[in-house]
């Protein structure tokens, strides 16, 4: 197991950091947030040109076949700039599910399009009453001739409104929280009966409540085996979780730097507040929290590819717990050490705080992963 970046990873980090620095300043991000769909198509095309969209996609399908660590390196950089483009929804979750479970025809139809920046996806799995239980699927898929009819509701589906295709989980058998009986479907976002109610999220992204009202889909839209999607969903969610931790590592890095910078320049009582020992210690605690979280995140990212589910899930839960705690500390303290300025929408630190808080609430919060880590011991 290597704890150092290889040359490719170093190059990737350099180019991504340069992009954030040159092309994704805080004010640029604010403008992008107001765009249709909440992100920039132009930036998305740049991501495609830079090869970032192809990064984790298998080489056989137009991708670069990168590992989870490779993708984590990129996500960390995106986190530094609070990037709004739907990398997680399209590349990590959507394409991740297709690569994991799709047949050749499905992979051919979707993955190269994602790598080129032409196809956008969203992962419509979580339901209104599911909380953090991945097994909780009430949406039904009833047999209808050779195909299926989908009925149900999906909650807080990030970037659904701009997706071409939704990866939808639905129950073909069993009760609401059974592990068996869940099937994944590729659903055209514009299909009859797919109704979206879209809204901004508090951290500046876009999401939708997705209603499925008698949506007819063909047998060829089934992704993977009928009734056996849970292992796929768990794999995809675990990978997304560790990549969210990588994004958080980048966000924490920026939040710490901004706070320390502020402490060096803000003068009260005749000197920079960074000269007060009590505040110095708090900044040190923030930095430490970030370093531990980042280290554990990369360790988990390095472990999960091809690992057995227990090892994988335990590694991910550990990283997610550490991230949740670090993100809260850094977000809250970052604002506190900025004083009143930290409360304003004009300062970036509050936006990092919001993103870090919401990352904790995705795919299970700290308590959820603490329980899962203990249960899998």
Partner 1 sequence: MELILTPEEQKFRDEVRAFLTANVPAEVKEKTMTGYRLSKEEHVSWQKTLYEKGWMAPSWPVEHGGTTWTPMQKHIFQEECAAAGAPPVVAFGVVMVAPVIMKFGTQKQKDYFLPRILRSDDWWCQGYSEPGSGSDLASLRTKAVLNGDHYIVNGQKTWTTMAQYANMMFCLTRTDDSGKRQEGITFLLIDMDQPGVTVQPITTIDGSQEINNVFLEDVKVPVENRVGEEGKGWTYAKYLLGHERTSIAAVGRSKAQLARLRDIAKVEQQDGRPLIEDEAFQKKLAEIEIDLLALESLVLRVLSDESAGKGPGPEASFLKIRGTEVQQGITELLVEAIGNYAHPYVPEAMQTGWNEDPIGPEYAASIAPHYFNWRKASIYGGSNEIQKNIIAKAVLGL
Residue 225 beta carbon to partner 1: minimum distance, rounded to whole angstroms: 25
Residue 210 beta carbon to partner 1: minimum distance, rounded to whole angstroms: 12
Which is nearer to partner 1, 217 or 260 (by Cβ)? 260
- CA distances to 97, 219, 237, 238 from 231, rounded to whole Å, are 11, 20, 10, 10
Told to check if 346 binds partner 1 by CB under 8 A, we report yes
At residue 189, φ and ψ (nearest 5 deg) are -60, -30
Residue 233 beta carbon to partner 1: minimum distance, rounded to whole angstroms: 16
Told to check if 39 binds partner 1 by CB under 8 A, we report no
Among 28, 45, 201, 280, binds partner 1 (CB under 8 A): 201
Residues of span 119-138 touching partner 1 by CB under 8 A? 126, 128-133
Among 269, 277, 306, 377, binds partner 1 (CB under 8 A): 269
Report whether 125 contacts 94 (CB < 8 A): no
Q: How many residues bind partner 1 (CB under 8 A)?
A: 47
User: Coil, strand, or helix at residue 151?
Assistant: strand
CA distance 296 to 292: 6
Told to check if 343 binds partner 1 by CB under 8 A, we report yes
Q: What angle do CA 273, 278, 280 make, to 5 degrees?
A: 65
Told to check if 350 binds partner 1 by CB under 8 A, we report yes
Which is nearer to partner 1, 102 or 324 (by Cβ)? 324
Task: Give me the 139-168 binding string for partner 1, x by CB under 8 A, dash otherwise.
Answer: ----------------xx------------
Place of tokens 């997610």: 320
Among 47, 87, 353, 373, binds partner 1 (CB under 8 A): 353
Residue 342 beta carbon to partner 1: minimum distance, rounded to whole angstroms: 7
Told to check if 267 binds partner 1 by CB under 8 A, we report yes
CA 266 from chain centre, in angstroms, equals 34
Told to check if 199 binds partner 1 by CB under 8 A, we report yes
- CA distances to 64, 120, 227, 261 from 88, rounded to whole Å, are 17, 11, 25, 30
At residue 148, φ and ψ (nearest 5 deg) are -140, 160
Residue 263 beta carbon to partner 1: minimum distance, rounded to whole angstroms: 12
**Exposure string over 323-361, b if 16+ CB within 10 A, otherwise e:** bbbbbbbbbebbbebbeeebeeeebbbbbbbbbbbbbbe
Which is nearer to partner 1, 103 or 265 (by Cβ)? 265
User: Coil, strand, or helix at residue 145?
Assistant: coil
Residue 196 beta carbon to partner 1: minimum distance, rounded to whole angstroms: 12
Place of tokens 């507040």: 273
Residue 271 beta carbon to partner 1: minimum distance, rounded to whole angstroms: 10
CA distance 361 to 112: 31
Residue 224 beta carbon to partner 1: minimum distance, rounded to whole angstroms: 24
Told to check if 279 binds partner 1 by CB under 8 A, we report yes
The DSSP secondary structure of 290-335, one letter per residue, reads HHHHHHHHHHHHHHHTT--HHHHHHHHHHHHHHHHHHHHHHHHHHH
Can you give the binding site for partner 1, defined by CB under 8 A? 126, 128-133, 155-156, 177, 197, 199-203, 205, 207, 209, 267-270, 273, 278-279, 332, 335-336, 339-340, 342-346, 350-351, 353-354, 357-358, 361, 365, 367, 370-371
């Amino acid at each position: 197991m290597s704890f150092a970046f290889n040359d490719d990873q170093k190059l990737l980090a350099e180019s991504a950091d340069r992009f954030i620095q040159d092309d994704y300043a805080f004010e640029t991000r604010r403008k992008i947030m107001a765009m249709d769909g909440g992100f920039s198509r132009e930036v998305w095309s740049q991501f495609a040109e830079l090869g970032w969209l192809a990064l984790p996609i298998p080489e056989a399908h137009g991708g670069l076949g990168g590992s989870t660590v490779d993708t984590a390196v990129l996500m960390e950089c995106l986190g530094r700039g609070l990037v709004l483009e739907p990398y997680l929804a399209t590349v990590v979750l959507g394409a991740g599910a297709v690569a994991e479970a799709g047949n050749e025809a499905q992979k051919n139809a979707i993955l190269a399009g994602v790598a080129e920046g032409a196809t956008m996806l969203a992962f419509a799995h979580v339901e209104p009453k599911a909380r953090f239980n991945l097994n909780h699927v009430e949406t039904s898929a009833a047999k209808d001739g050779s195909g299926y009819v989908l009925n149900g509701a999906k909650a807080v589906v990030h970037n659904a409104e701009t997706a071409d295709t939704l990866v939808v989980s639905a129950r073909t058998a069993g009760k609401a929280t059974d592990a068996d009986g869940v099937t994944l479907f590729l659903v055209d976002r514009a299909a009859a009966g797919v109704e979206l109610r879209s809204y901004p999220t508090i951290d500046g992204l876009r999401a939708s409540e997705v209603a499925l009202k008698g949506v007819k889909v063909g047998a060829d839209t089934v992704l993977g085996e009928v009734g056996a999607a849970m292992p796929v969903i768990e794999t995809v969610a675990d990978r997304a979780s560790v990549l969210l931790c990588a994004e958080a590592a980048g966000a924490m890095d920026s939040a710490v730097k901004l706070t320390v910078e502020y402490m060096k320049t803000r003068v009260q009582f005749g000197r920079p507040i960074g000269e007060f020992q009590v505040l110095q210690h708090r900044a040190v605690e923030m930095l430490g929290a970030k370093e531990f979280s980042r280290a554990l995140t990369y360790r988990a990212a390095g472990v999960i590819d091809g690992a057995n589910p227990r090892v994988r899930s335990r590694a991910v839960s550990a990283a997610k717990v550490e991230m949740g705690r670090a993100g809260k500390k850094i977000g809250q303290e970052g604002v506190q050490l900025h004083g009143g300025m930290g409360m304003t929408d004009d300062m970036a630190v509050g936006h990092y705080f919001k993103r870090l808080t919401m990352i904790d609430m995705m795919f299970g919060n700290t308590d959820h992963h603490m329980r899962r880590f203990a249960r899998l011991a």
